[in-house]
């Protein structure tokens, strides 16, 4: 698998930024297509990537909830260079569970992923090559509904299931799908957390781990292992037991 041209949504911070910097330093990378909503942060990421290697860095100020704008950007990128790897990565935290924040969470974390993945799938289906990868960022929070962040965990559960289903659905078209479920990784989201964050990771090693497992075509990239195991185990418990555990979780501010 030769990965030369990579597109990343939500590339101005956190895992998206770290992935951009990781691929920018690889000698085989030819084009990086990066989008975000904040122009200042995205420009800073572009400059940092340009210092890493010789890849061409293409940036776009974009709201991934805008279906038409996302589709147009992806089509433009594909015309510039055949995309090999697309990260549907952009996401938001809900913070306070107000009606506006709840709608924004699902619009960004779910519809934003669909707005990204759908046009990519249509482009990939037209191509006969095998260098076609989609990576969807979910979360370990998507293993079970969490009372401390109901909307966020539900939105990530949705895209986790979507990615896992697409993996086999798109296999006949030689399209590789990987679903990413990180634990606590440094980002603008975790910077706002006041609750305990066990097994906290910096973004750079998390990005390197993700890239390595995509190259190995690991379908569900979930880490760190202790959190993955604990989340999975609680998700299979009877409700009265999982309820008992979750009642004792600290609240998120």
Mean pLDDT confidence for 57-80: 98
> Per residue in 1-32, pLDDT tens?
789 999 999 999 999 999 999 999 999 999 99
Worst-scoring range by mean pLDDT, 56-65, 106-115, 179-188?
Answer: 179-188
Mean pLDDT confidence for 155-176: 98
Position 223 scores a pLDDT of 93
Mean pLDDT confidence for 208-234: 92
Is a pLDDT exceeding 80 seen at residue 204? yes
Residue whose tokens read 């991934």: 64
Q: Locate 158 and state its tokens.
A: 């949705």
Q: What domains, with CATH codes, occur in the chain?
A: 5-246 (3.40.50.720)
State the average pLDDT for the chain: 92
The 3-class SS string of the chain reads CCCCEEEECCCCCHHHHHHHHHHHCCCCCCEEEEEECCHHHHHHHHHHHHHHCCCEEEEEECCCCCHHHHHHHHHHHHHHCCCCEEEECCCCCCCCCCHHHHHHHHHHHHHHHHHHHHHHHHHHHCCCCCCCEEEEECCHHHHCCCCCCHHHHHHHHHHHHHHHHHHHHCHHHCCEEEEEEECCECCCCHHHCCCCCCCCECHHHHHHHHHHHHHCCCCEEEECHHHHHHHHHHHCCCHHHHHHHHCCCCCCC
Worst-scoring range by mean pLDDT, 2-6, 48-52, 187-191?
Answer: 187-191
Mean pLDDT confidence for 68-83: 98
> Per residue in 126-149, pLDDT tens?
999 999 999 999 999 999 988 888
pTM as predicted: 0.91
Mean pLDDT confidence for 73-79: 98
Beta bridge partners, 8, equal 34, 87
């Amino acid at each position: 698998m030769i990965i030369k041209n990579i597109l990343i949504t939500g590339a101005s911070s956190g895992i998206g930024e770290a992935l951009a910097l990781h691929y920018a330093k690889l000698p085989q990378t030819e084009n990086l297509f990066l989008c975000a909503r904040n122009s200042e942060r995205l420009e800073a990421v572009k400059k940092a990537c340009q210092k890493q290697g010789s890849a061409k860095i293409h940036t776009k100020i974009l709201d991934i909830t805008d279906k038409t704008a996302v589709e147009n950007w992806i089509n433009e990128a594909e015309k510039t260079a055949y995309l090999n790897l697309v990260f549907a990565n952009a996401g938001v935290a809900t913070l306070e569970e107000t009606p506006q924040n709840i709608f924004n969470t699902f619009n960004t974390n779910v519809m934003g992923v669909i707005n990204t993945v759908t046009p990519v799938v249509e482009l990939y289906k037209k191509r006969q090559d095998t260098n076609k990868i989609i990576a969807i960022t979910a979360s370990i929070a998507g293993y079970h509904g969490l009372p401390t962040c109901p909307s966020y965990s539900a939105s990530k559960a949705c895209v986790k299931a979507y990615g896992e289903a697409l993996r086999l659905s798109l296999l006949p078209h030689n399209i590789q799908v990987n679903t990413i479920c990180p634990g606590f990784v440094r980002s603008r989201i975790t910077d706002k957390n006041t609750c305990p964050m066990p097994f906290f990771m910096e973004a750079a090693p998390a990005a390197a781990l993700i890239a390595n497992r995509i190259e190995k075509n690991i379908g569900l990239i979930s880490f760190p292992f202790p959190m993955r195991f604990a989340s999975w185990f609680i998700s299979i418990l009877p409700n009265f037991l999982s309820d008992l555990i979750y009642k004792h979780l600290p609240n998120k501010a």
